[in-house]
Chains A and B, each alone.
Chain A
Amino acid sequence: MPTQPTLTGDATGPTGTPGGTSGPPASPTRDRQGPSRGPVRPGTLVKIALMAVINALGVFGILAAWREGHMGILASMVVLLVVADWVYFSRRTLPLKYVLPGLAFLLVFQVYVVGYTGWVAFTNYGDGHNSTKEQAVEALLIQNERRVEGSATYPLTVVERGGALGFAIVDDGEAQVGTADDPLSPEPDATVDDDRVTEVPGATVLSRQEVLQRQAEVTSLRVPFSDDPNDGWVRTQDARTGFVAVPSLEWDPEADTMTDVVTGTVYHATSDGSFRSDDGERLNVGWRVMVGFDNFRTAFGDERYAQPFVKILLWTFAFAILSVVSTFLLGLFLAITFNDTRVRGRRLYRTLLIFPYAIPGFLAALLWSGMLNRSYGFVNQVLLGGAAVPWLTDPWLAKASVLGVNLWLGFPYMFLICTGALQSLPGDVLEAAKVDGAGAWRTWRSVTLPLLLVATTPLLISSFAFNFNNFTLIYMLTRGGPRFADASVPLGHTDILISMVYSVSGLDGTAAKNYGLASALSIVIFVIVATISAITFKRTKQFEEIS
């Protein structure tokens, strides 16, 4: 409503105006304060204190990002901090003062990650393609190392410098010190005793005890001779002598090739983010590249994924629709049952019927997974007198069980909203129907139900969207099982799209990581849910206007 412009400055309330009696009593001292130049309000002090903390944290974050060399994080932190200071110290940003806190989190943890998901969907990010090309080259050289035969060994000391483990060796009587990131370099000030480095300025020498405690770190440490990884590095197995290891691959940055020094095979860098030899052999570490729509093609075309994908897609729809319909029908039926004011104990029934809704979903799913256990479960043992019904292990029964458990979990919610909607029906419309001579059934069919649907459709849509992604229920109850007998990927008959994404991503450890494909599937789910929501919302709006 375009009444008074609400953009009043932060600290300049109109003062001393004797307000009408309708307003709540503002504190009297405040009324007598002078205009904006008056004493500082406690609110302002709180604001300044909060902003000081935020600035301190922000600057700390910026410095840390600088130290680690993360320019992306650095830039976003600077922007966020500047915007925060501007918003809270300017007088012209009133609405933003209220929106900014939530907005900042939204931008970082929702908008950014959604965008990042979109980006990852077009890459081959995943096991074997984890990082940049430089890091992939480094990893390949390290993984394919060999000890140089007959090469020298060095007396070696384990040191810690700047928080990182390193080696100090004696080469040609000269002390050299280096860490994993910092190649060996001469350290003339180091104390050498009996051919072994005993003291290094600016670094602590680890005692035998400490070395034993950090054995794994020490034996996996590689200290390079120089910045060129082809030069090899020093390693140790006993923390007392170091040996030289060199990569068995040779990296040629000019030609963009890796050459196996033993067999002489040449691997060329290819556009799919890996090194490949002429006869098609591929080195096991690659790097991240954009692969365009390959992930989407895999989802729909690669038979390892396409077949389960179609089955899972259909089941996801079936599951979401049937869940909404079944819970809605049961909830509606119960709401009608208890909508009669003459029923005694309505409140008690309602309270007891809410119970399943008040039980956290994961607990319910786990609980039911035990109750539906084939051999020992309560359902088979007690309710069915010892029948061994494979509730969770037969493909069709598992689907039925998932729906049944979701019915138990979901009907109270529908019961509540239907009760609410029934009670808020306009009485005059029902009255009018009665006056027009409509019977109970006719009134219900032509008046009550349409009005009820108008009121509940948005919630039914969000319920559909919720169930479309009801990961917890599926994962806790069946883990997507029983597994497809014929599929090579770990997917099963009750998997829905979101649990498929989880399995495909490999983050649960059951399959190789494939972030690219998982993100592509996320995008597909998003498109499906968004399209359905958009269409239905549009149609319900029309529906609302007509009625």
Chain B
Amino acid sequence: MVTTDVTPSSRTASRGDTNRMPRSRWFAELGWRHLVGVVAVAYALFPIVYVISASLSEGGTLTGSNDLFAEVSTANYEALGGTLFWTWLANSLQIAIATGVGTVLMGAAAAYAFSRFRFTGRRAGLTSLLIIQMFPQMLAFVAIFLLLITLGNVVPALGLNSKLALIAVYLGGALGVNTFLMYGFFNTVPREIDEAAKIDGATHAQTYWTIILRLVTPILAVVALLSFISTFGEFIIARLVLQSERNWTVAVGLFGWVSALLEANWGLFAAGAVISALPVLLLFLFLQKYIVGGLTAGAVKG
């Protein structure tokens, strides 16, 4: 769909520049860049074009999906209705949104405390966070599994096969990397703003909720998005925790389709993949500015 946009733009570019410099110099300085760009864009996009085409193919088998856009039918999308796909998608969104919001709330609060208050244990706290976050939660999946079995005996809502429990597990990682990312950003907000608010009679809670959080929105968006994306695509813990098919996430469900009957389920998978990639892709495109800023802020600050 999008590939066609590339050529016109590069053509206009070449037309504009050739007016000013000779063709050979233009190619040495700028033209090759467009060549690289077109090749790179083709490389980046062909799997995506392929999956869209496969999702629209009539047959829905892997073999039948190789002729790009040979036929266009919505059969695969309609067939999704007969599966649990929409339930899985709803589960994924529910879990990822809850985790994203929770992560931002908890991470931002902690980052604020570390950035603004001086208290005993502050340095130690930051250092321990740095060490703890080196141990990815995923590595402890056995222990998480065993913990949830035990917790489930006491409070079933926090046991195996509960989405709430999965969210809680994910929130266990809310403070890790994110606190550092946000901590750096909070530090760039001048303290004078807090002071001024205090003089004006704002409580620290008011300062935090109505002033600081507004000033750090970009990093909040980045963290929310990164958390959303990683939760949306998380597989190993989701697979262990969510045991009944109704509770699965898209990642667990689609993996089941592809690993069980690759050939027969391909069209369904392709349609499901297109739909589940959409929310993330759209978020990404809308928040592109923030994301690039956030990533590079992290890059420069370390």
A residues sitting closer than 8 Å to B (CB atoms) are 1-4, 6-8, 10-11, 13-17, 19-20, 22-26, 30-31, 41, 43, 60-61, 64-65, 68, 70, 72-73, 94-99, 101-103, 105-106, 108-114, 116-117, 120, 125, 333-334, 337-338, 340, 342-345, 348-349, 351-364, 366-371, 373, 376-378, 381-382, 408, 412-413, 416-417, 419-421, 423-424, 455-459, 462, 465, 469, 471-472, 475-476, 479, 498, 501-502, 505, 507-508, 515, 518-519, 522, 525-526, 529-530, 533, 540, 544
- A102 near B259 with CB under 8 A, answer no
- Residues of B235-256 at the interface with A, using a CB-CB cut-off of 8 Å, are 235-236, 239-240, 251, 254-255
Q: A73-B150, A120-B142 are in contact. Are A472 and B233 (CB under 8 A)?
A: yes
In the complex, 21 of the A-B residue pairs with CB atoms within 8 angstroms, ordered by the A residue number, are: A10-B205, A11-B203, A17-B200, A22-B196, A23-B197, A41-B203, A102-B109, A102-B110, A110-B140, A114-B140, A337-B37, A348-B9, A355-B48, A356-B48, A360-B233, A360-B277, A417-B296, A419-B292, A455-B300, A526-B139, A533-B134
**A378: which of B66, B153, B236 is its contact (CB, 8 Å)?**
B66
Cα A116 to Cα B150 in complex, Å, equals 13
Give 7 A-B pairs besides A8-B198, A381-B63, A457-B302 with Cβ atoms closer than 8 angstroms. A43-B206, A102-B107, A105-B106, A116-B146, A344-B17, A360-B277, A472-B235
Hey, what's the 0/1 contact readout for B205-234 against A, CB within 8 Å counting as 1? 110101100000000000000000100111
Interface size class on chain B is: 35 or more
A160: min CB distance to chain B, Å = 19
- B201 near A382 with CB under 8 A, answer no
B138: min CB distance to chain A, Å = 6
Q: List the 5 closest A-B pairs by CB distance, nearest first.
A: A420-B296, A109-B172, A344-B13, A23-B196, A102-B106
- B141 near A459 with CB under 8 A, answer no
- B137 near A109 with CB under 8 A, answer yes
- B138 near A343 with CB under 8 A, answer no
Cα A221 to Cα B57 in complex, Å, equals 53
- Residues of B contacting A354 in the complex (Cβ-Cβ under 8 angstroms): 284-285, 288
Q: Which residue of B lies closest to A502 (CB)?
A: B236
- B236 near A113 with CB under 8 A, answer no
- A24 near B204 with CB under 8 A, answer no
The interface stretch among B71-79, B80-88, B261-269 is B261-269
Q: Which residue of B lies closest to A349 (CB)?
A: B37
- Residues of B contacting A343 in the complex (Cβ-Cβ under 8 angstroms): 13, 30, 33-34, 37
Q: Kindly name the residue among A2, A73, A114, A344 whose own CB sees the greatest number of chain B CB atoms within 10 A.
A: A344
Q: A476-B235, A476-B255 are in contact. Are A113 and B109 (CB under 8 A)?
A: no
- B235 near A362 with CB under 8 A, answer yes
- A99 near B142 with CB under 8 A, answer no
- Residues of A contacting B280 in the complex (Cβ-Cβ under 8 angstroms): 358-360
- A338 near B109 with CB under 8 A, answer no
**B44: which of A120, A376, A408 is its contact (CB, 8 Å)?**
A408
Cα A427 to Cα B45 in complex, Å, equals 34
**B200: which of A24, A110, A340, A357 is its contact (CB, 8 Å)?**
A24
A131: min CB distance to chain B, Å = 11
- B135 near A530 with CB under 8 A, answer yes
- A378 near B146 with CB under 8 A, answer no
B38: min CB distance to chain A, Å = 9
Q: A354-B284, A359-B48 are in contact. Are A73 and B37 (CB under 8 A)?
A: no
- Residues of A contacting B37 in the complex (Cβ-Cβ under 8 angstroms): 337-338, 343, 345, 349
- Residues of A contacting B119 in the complex (Cβ-Cβ under 8 angstroms): 7, 94-95
- Residues of B contacting A364 in the complex (Cβ-Cβ under 8 angstroms): 47
- Residues of A contacting B139 in the complex (Cβ-Cβ under 8 angstroms): 117, 469, 498, 501, 522, 525-526
**B110: which of A103, A108, A357 is its contact (CB, 8 Å)?**
A103
- B125 near A340 with CB under 8 A, answer no
Q: A116-B146, A344-B16 are in contact. Are A378 and B200 (CB under 8 A)?
A: no
- Residues of B contacting A465 in the complex (Cβ-Cβ under 8 angstroms): 134, 136
Q: Is B113 an interface residue (CB 8 A)?
A: yes
Cα A379 to Cα B226 in complex, Å, equals 31
Q: Is B123 an interface residue (CB 8 A)?
A: no
Hey, what's the 0/1 contact readout for B176-194 against A, CB within 8 Å counting as 1? 1101000000000001111
